[in-house]
Chains A and B, each alone.
Chain A
Amino acid sequence: MDEWHHYFAFRSGSICKEFIDGQGTSFSIAGSVTNAQPLYIGRRNITYGNFNLPIAFYIHGLSLPDSDAAWLTEDLFRIFQPPRTWFLLGAGGTTYTRTISADTLIQQQNILRTASADAMVAKVQQLGAFADALVQLAAQLNISADALLQGTNAQQALADLLVQVQQSVSAAADLRIASVQQLQALADALLQATNSRAAQADLLLQARQALGTSADLLVRMTAELVASADMIVQSSGATTYLRTAVVDMLVEKLQQLAVQADLLLQRQGATVVAQADVAVAVRQALSATADALVQQSQAAVLQANALLRSTVRALAQVDALLQVPRTASLSADLRVVLRALLSVGCNVLVRATRQARVGVDLLALLPPGVWKGESAAAPPAWTADSGALSPWTLETGKSDSWN
């Protein structure tokens, strides 16, 4: 009583469906629906006096476009009041529920350890030791890199020193070359002087020969004078005494001339010869000096060449030494890469250690019946060295001074 109900009906072809409060039914009908075929909903026949009043609700059609909704009250004796709100079951429609069951499985913490767990712990400890070794290796690499850097600096200093030595050697070679050139110039000057003295000696020899020729001429003139005197004696008929006196005078004159010639020869010729000999000796000495100078010059040139070759070798060595810093730089780069790889490796080890720890924990959770080699010993606390297994950090600020 006094409740609203929801009615909904529609027809499509011969199918007719009715829903009352969401509960529906269907039936078939044929042909058109007319008022002669009333649709009764909750039909009751109530008699008021002589009237039989069927409670019927008529609709004018049941085709889909003309579908309609109607609300009825069971108390038809009251004045019909149409609804002012939507018809809703409950507060907001039908409430539905969906349920699930929830549970959990709980494992008592195991107080025993197994050989497998021990082995895993040992493995974890080995991993930790390996990680420590890697850390030490990285530190050693750092030290090696520093030593390499120091060695490179020393080699650079040595290369600078070699460059200075080469420059000094080059300067000395230049000085020697200049000296040789000066010696050559002096030798040339001496040769010219020697040639001049030789020409003078030749001139002296010519003078000596000329003197000899004069003496011969004097002898021949004396002989001619003697012959003239003889001829004069013979032609004049002079006495033998005169003749003899003339001859003697001539002879005496000739002897005087001869003496003068000899004296002249002895004085001037010896002087000329001595001078010529001195000139020759000087020339020879000069020639020897010049030869020595030439030899010294040649030796100096050879030495200069040797010095030049040494300089070239020194420069090549310097270039090779200059390659060392580049190689050291490459080594440093390799070291950085290696350190990065070590960092990755250490991180992997740290993760592996953690996973191993989880594995140990899980092994400890297995049911007691699964264990092998159970012992009554209480499980030791987790002994992973947190310091050794801490995440690897790349010390970028440490001794990375490569350029």
Chain B
Amino acid sequence: MPATVDIREWNGPTTGPTYTVKTNGTVRFKNADDPNVDTNNPLVVPSSGSDFSFVKWLRLYIGATGPAVEITNLRFYTDGTNDLGTGILLWCKNNASYGGPTEPTGTTGYTDAFTYTSAAPLNLGAGPYTGTNVDIGDFVEIFAEVQSTATNGQTPTETLTFAYDEI
């Protein structure tokens, strides 16, 4: 039986974060640090410059069932095509530790998430990872940027993929 592995979104302060399982769910980039997929705190099309969402901290988690042997080769990627719309970008990077809720003021240090594909993923840790009920690998620190050319409304969804090998 394969291990139970989920994607969890972290929120709250570094001293007491909360976790929400997001596997097969949705993360909504917004101007607040919460996992809720609702209409509160939307991003705003700025008259100039950019409006940045709060950072989403995503990380893989081994649940009640661990791997028979081990889990290795954690990675993150997209389909390589930005379908969110004009003027809407996703930026990401891996981070070994949780930094709490932050709203970036720029994109320095981050990479366009759509440059990461299955063929060229963002590596989150080689492993091996074992055990149960344990967080594994690096965080994916990802946020959205809305530029003045964007239009209002709910964007199409993009699929973000976490992959790993298990034996």
Contacts and interface: CB of A to CB of B under 8 A. Distances in A.
Nearest to B118: A97
Contact of B161 (A97, A105, A108): A97
Contacts of A30: none
B7 A104 contact: no
A96 B5 contact: yes
Interface string B41-63: 01111110000010000101000
Interface in A91-148: 91-109
B14 interface: no
Contacts of B60: 98
A90 interface: yes
B151 A106 contact: yes
A109 B44 contact: yes
A102 B167 contact: no
B164 interface: yes
A105 B43 CA distance: 6
A36 to B, nearest CB: 34
Nearest to B2: A96
A100 B57 CA distance: 13
Interface residues of A, number: 22
Given A103-B28, A104-B53, A106-B155, A96 B42 contact: no
Contact of B152 (A100, A101, A106): A106
Interface in B56-85: 58, 60, 69, 72-73, 84
A103 B2 contact: no
Interface stretch (B19-27, B94-102, B104-112): B19-27
Given A103-B26, A106-B152, 20 more contacts: A88-B167, A92-B73, A93-B72, A98-B163, A99-B24, A99-B162, A100-B22, A101-B26, A101-B157, A102-B27, A102-B142, A102-B159, A102-B160, A103-B29, A103-B156, A106-B45, A106-B88, A107-B43, A107-B152, A109-B47
Interface of A: 88, 90-109, 365
27 contacts: A91-B165, A92-B165, A94-B166, A95-B165, A95-B166, A96-B166, A98-B24, A99-B159, A101-B157, A102-B28, A102-B157, A103-B156, A104-B29, A104-B30, A104-B53, A104-B88, A104-B144, A104-B154, A105-B42, A105-B43, A105-B155, A106-B44, A106-B45, A106-B150, A106-B153, A108-B152, A109-B47
